[in-house]
Amino acid sequence: MKDLTAWRILGAMVLGWALVARGGEPAVLRNQAYKAGAALSDYERERCLLDFYLPTNTAFATLVWFHGGGLTGGDKSSGEALGRMLAKEGIALASANYRLSPRVHFPAYVE
C-alpha cells in the first residue's frame, strides 16, 4: 500500500511539472492524498492530504511543510503564502495535513 501512495505523490508531482512548464504563476495542486486504501477511516481521508506549490522551472528543490498547532489544531492552508513565495523563487513546497489529537494518539499522527 505504501508503494501505491508513493506512486500517487510522484504522479501528482509529474502532473505539476507538466502544468508549470507553460510558465506564469506557480501551479497549485490541492488535496493530494498521501495515504490510500479501503481500510482508511473517513478522518484519514479528510486529513491525510498534501497541497503542492510548484515553481515554473523544471528542476527544483522541495520543502515539506508541517503546520503548527501542537498536534491539536492547524491546517495545511497555513503554508499557502509561504508556498507561493517559495515557488516564485524556484522552490517547491508540499504542505501537509495530518491527524490531530484527541481524535488520534501518538504515534498515529506520524504514521
**Residue 20 reports pLDDT greater than 50:** no
pTM of the model: 0.76
Angle at alpha carbon of residue 79, lines to 73 and 85, rounded to 5°: 165
Average pLDDT over residues 95-108: 93
CA distance 107 to 102: 12
Residue 9, exposed/middle/buried by CB under 10 A (0-12, 13-18, 19+)?
Answer: middle
Instruction: Give the model's pLDDT for residue 23.
Output: 47
Instruction: Tell which wins on pLDDT, 67 or 6.
Output: 67
Q: Where are the alpha helices (DSSP H) in 21-66?
A: 42-47
Q: Where are the alpha helices (DSSP H) in 59-100?
A: 80-88
CA distance 35 to 53: 19
**Residue 4 reports pLDDT greater than 60:** no
Chain segment 42-78, per-residue pLDDT in tens: 999 999 999 999 999 889 999 999 999 999 999 999 9
